[in-house]
Structure 1
Amino acid sequence: MDSPHGAAVKAENFGLKGPRGWAFRGVAIDAGPGSLIAVEGPSGSGRTCLLLALTGRMKANEGHAEVAGHRLPKRMAAVRRVAALGPVSGVNDLDQALTVAEQLREGALLQRRYEGPVRALLRPRGERRATTAARIDAALAAVGLDLDALPKGPRTSVRDLDRLEAVRLSVAIALLGSPRLLALDDLDLKLSDSERADAWAMLRSIADAGTTVLAVCSQAPEGVRVLRTATAEPPAKDTGTAGAKPAAEPGAKHAKPARKDTAKPAAKDTGKAETKPAAEDGAESGAESGAQTGAKTPADTGAKPTAGADDRTDDRTDDDTKGTDDALAEAGRA
């Protein structure tokens, strides 16, 4: 496989802001062709977003960057033509239902169909097959993956590969297009110390062959250029909004129960004390009920005279009505 000339990677005040705030911000780098760069930082610090932005897969909205002389974010399509992705979870995952040989052939077919020159499609079928087989063998040699050493050789299922073998296979597929920039995510995920050392040795050999390599990791080994990311702080506007909202909510919560306790329950208890005890059991029952419920009795509140006056008025009304009915009856008999 030909050794492509690596892409220089430069960035100044490079940042990307999404709906939830800044993914990364203030990134600066100046790396020459054939460099091995480790993007180091804690999970959630925007490492993957930076990787995708530098390869033309995500559009940054602050600062600028250059990859192989193509300025970002204006020339994202040109950057995608010279940059290839290794393993990036959720973006180019391996198909677990395929065998290793099928996955390689699929990668070669897609690269030839979408990335290769159109004139390559006009070559005879036998020549195309020979060229594809040679490129696959060269890519496997570059990543150190021996198909014959696998449990079932080329027919080994992708799901049966261990983590390091899956990384080697993904990188081999990326190298089929002879990229100038190779980018991969979570290099040291689920790898032992010895496997991590083997993975970095693989990337270092690819960089020495001329391809610029950009790898996301939790901790970079010694001798590797490090580009660190940190979780960006939210803008001042968002902080102010977040601080004002909790202050308004507790106030509203306390105000509503206060109106409920002082208005509605008081009216309900007073009605019971004025009406029920006076009508059923008189003053003694009202006082006893008030003592049990904690409400004031009619005697304390001055409601007894009012209740008594109402009762006497009702009695007089009944007596007057009865007398009027008797007088009319007598007049009828006369």
Structure 2
Amino acid sequence: MDEPPTTAAAPIGEGGGVAVGAEGFGMEGPRGWVFREVGFHAEPGSLIAIEGPSGSGRTCLLLALTGRMKPSEGHATVGALRLPKQMAAVRRISALAHVPGVTDLDPALTVGEHLRERALLQRRFDGSLRGLLRPRRERVAEAEGRIDAALGAAGLDRASLPKGERTAVRDLERVEALRLSLALALVGRPRLLGVDDTDLKLSEAERAETWALLRSLTEAGTTVVAVCSEAPEGALVVSTAKKNETGTDTGAGTEAEPRTGAETRAGTEDETEPRTGTEAAAEPAAEPETRTEAADPDTEGADPDTGADPDTDTRAESAVDTGAELHTKTASQADRGDDDKEMGDAIAETRLA
């Protein structure tokens, strides 16, 4: 009988959790500061809760602390590693779970397919060359050991699912999908685990269950950074909002609070007051100034196609020439009328004769 792999005892890194800290940590985007002046220090195996409203830079701070996004100012430390200089090294000892757009689960795949795929990727990219040359039986046993340890740490029992490991992701409950995402991240035995949207659309009982699960991971030695709208008791809170409800500083974003899209639009309306389509349609359009200038009583006889300034000599000469032309045309029409009258009289006389 094969002995179980000795490396599958715990779903954490060889050295356990790491200390995480930041000083003057900030990130600036195209629309301004996403977060700024973040400062804290957490011991290894701590539960760090990034608290704040949606759109306040919580996920960006999570990605920056795990080496996935580059900050603009300040620095952070993950164990003996320093950000942003050693981002690649931080990525090797950290993992992400439940991050939209980054660790999304494929709804068409089953639980077993997700787990086997993750184990293969772990062996291919994180394993040593010597490990790749081991017999297939040993490699399969180690992969199974990693998967079992990760599922146990995440609290996901494959046998309790409707179709076992053949259950599709689309058929999982929200908490089950969260546990699966955690298990996939724990396959690599990270020393730092980042979790996004921890309490999104969960009931009070499900939130308490999720926080208890994350605390169990920290008790096993893994440092956990979790994004939430409301931090639990006992967690180290790092807020991305400038002020809390009582008006005291929270320690993050104390100098420049990140603006949301609605706040940016509101500030623009105060300065420029743009009109909406309905208001613009209701107000009559302003009459151009050129129309007012054209209504000059001294140029009534001018050619309407002339576009020169009425105060210039060119416009005056054009008006005189146009008036003379009209006078000549009127005289010509009068002479033509007399000729027509004489011709009519001659025809009448001819008929009478």
**Shared fold, TM over 0.5:** yes
Higher mean C-alpha displacement, 61-70 vs 195-204:
61-70
Matched, 1:84 2:95: yes
Offset, 1:122: 1.2
Closer, same or farther: CA 163–217 of 1 in aligned 2, 3 Å? same
CA distance in 1, matches of 2:43, 2:330: 107
CA distance in 1, matches of 2:259, 2:330: 77
Offset, 1:101: 0.7
TM-score (norm 2): 0.72
Tell me which residue corresponds to 1:198: 209
Offset, 1:246: 2.6
Offset, 1:119: 2.0
Counterpart residue type for residue 288 of structure 2: A
Tell me which residue corresponds to 1:162: 173
CA deviations on 1:33-82 (whole Å, 9 max, x unpaired) are: 10001100000000000000111111111111111221111111000001
Offset, 1:135: 1.1
Offset, 1:309: 6.6
Counterpart residue type for residue 12 of structure 1: E
From 225, 242, 246, the equivalent of 2:272 is 246
Matched, 1:259 2:295: no
Tell me which residue corresponds to 1:232: 258
CA deviations on 1:83-137 (whole Å, 9 max, x unpaired) are: 1001100011011111101100111111111122232211110001111111111
Counterpart residue type for residue 259 of structure 1: E
CA distance in 2, matches of 1:140, 1:24: 34
What does residue range 117-136 of structure 1 map to in structure 2 within 5 Å? 117-136=128-147
Tell me which residue corresponds to 1:298: none
CA deviations on 1:2-51 (whole Å, 9 max, x unpaired) are: 35311111111111111122111111111111000110000000000000
CA distance in 2, matches of 1:21, 1:174: 32
RMSD over aligned CA atoms reads 3.6
Query: Residues 24 and 73 of structure 2 are in contact (CA less than 8 Å); yes or no, is this contact kept in structure 1?
Result: yes
CA deviations on 1:163-194 (whole Å, 9 max, x unpaired) are: 10001011111111111100010010111111
Counterpart residue type for residue 7 of structure 1: V
TM-score (norm 1): 0.75
CA distance in 1, matches of 2:330, 2:140: 114
Question: Helix, strand or coil: the match of 2:156?
Answer: coil
Question: Helix, strand or coil: the match of 1:37?
Answer: strand
Counterpart residue type for residue 113 of structure 2: E
CA deviations on 1:237-286 (whole Å, 9 max, x unpaired) are: x99x968983899xxx999733254246x479x869x99xxxxxxxxxxx
CA distance in 2, matches of 1:39, 1:56: 16
Question: Helix, strand or coil: the match of 1:166?
Answer: helix
Counterpart residue type for residue 185 of structure 2: A
Question: Helix, strand or coil: the match of 2:176?
Answer: helix
Closer, same or farther: CA 113–267 of 1 in aligned 2, 3 Å? farther
Question: Helix, strand or coil: the match of 1:257?
Answer: coil
Query: Residues 17 and 192 of structure 2 are in contact (CA less than 8 Å); yes or no, is this contact kept in structure 1?
Result: yes
CA distance in 1, matches of 2:135, 2:328: 113
Q: Identity across aligned pairs (percent)?
A: 56
Structure 1 or 2, whichever has the larger Rg, is 1
Tell me which residue corresponds to 2:254: none
Question: Helix, strand or coil: the match of 2:40?
Answer: strand
Of Structure 1 and Structure 2, the greater helix share is in 1
Structure 2: stretches of 5+ with no match in the other structure:
1-8, 242-256, 276-282, 305-322, 341-353
Structure 1: stretches of 5+ with no match in the other structure:
276-304, 323-334
CA distance in 1, matches of 2:75, 2:339: 99
Closer, same or farther: CA 256–116 of 1 in aligned 2, 3 Å? farther
CA distance in 2, matches of 1:134, 1:8: 27
Matched, 1:219 2:245: no
Q: How many residues of Structure 1 are paired with residues of Structure 2 in the alignment?
A: 284
CA distance in 2, matches of 1:9, 1:50: 13
Question: Helix, strand or coil: the match of 2:288?
Answer: helix
From 198, 221, 224, the equivalent of 1:210 is 221
Counterpart residue type for residue 231 of structure 2: A
CA distance in 1, matches of 2:41, 2:289: 65
